[in-house]
Amino acid sequence: MNIILLGPPGAGKGTQARHLVETRNMIQLSTGDMLREARTSGTEMGRVVANVMDRGELVTDEIVIGLIREKLEGDKAGGFIFDGFPRTLPQADALADLLSSTGETLDAVIEMQVDDAALVARITGRFTCGDCGEVYHDVTHRPTVDGVCDKCGGTNMKRRADDNEDSLRQRLMEYYKKTSPLIGYYYAKGQLRSVDGLAEIGDVQKAIAAVLD
Ligand SMILES: [Zn+2]
The residue from 71, 76, 126, 169 that is catalytic is 126
Active site residue 126: yes
Q: How far is the CA of 48 from the centre of ligand 1 (A)?
A: 41
The residue from 18, 36, 151, 160 that is catalytic is 160
Q: How far is the CA of 154 from the centre of ligand 1 (A)?
A: 5
Contact 58, 49 (CB under 8 A): no
Active site residue 171: yes
Q: How far is the CA of 190 from the centre of ligand 1 (A)?
A: 45
Q: How far is the CA of 145 from the centre of ligand 1 (A)?
A: 12
pLDDT tens for each residue of 168-183? 899 899 999 999 999 9
pLDDT tens for each residue of 75-91? 999 999 999 899 999 99
Active site residue 47: no
Q: What is the mean pLDDT of residues 6-21?
A: 91
Q: How far is the CA of 185 from the centre of ligand 1 (A)?
A: 43
pLDDT tens for each residue of 40-63? 888 888 898 999 988 988 889 999
pLDDT tens for each residue of 14-27? 889 999 999 999 99
- Three-class secondary structure of residue 196 per DSSP: strand
pLDDT category at 197 given cuts 50, 70, 90 is: very high
pLDDT tens for each residue of 94-134? 999 999 999 999 999 999 999 988 888 888 888 999 999 88
The residue from 24, 71, 76, 87 that is catalytic is 87
Q: How far is the CA of 199 from the centre of ligand 1 (A)?
A: 25
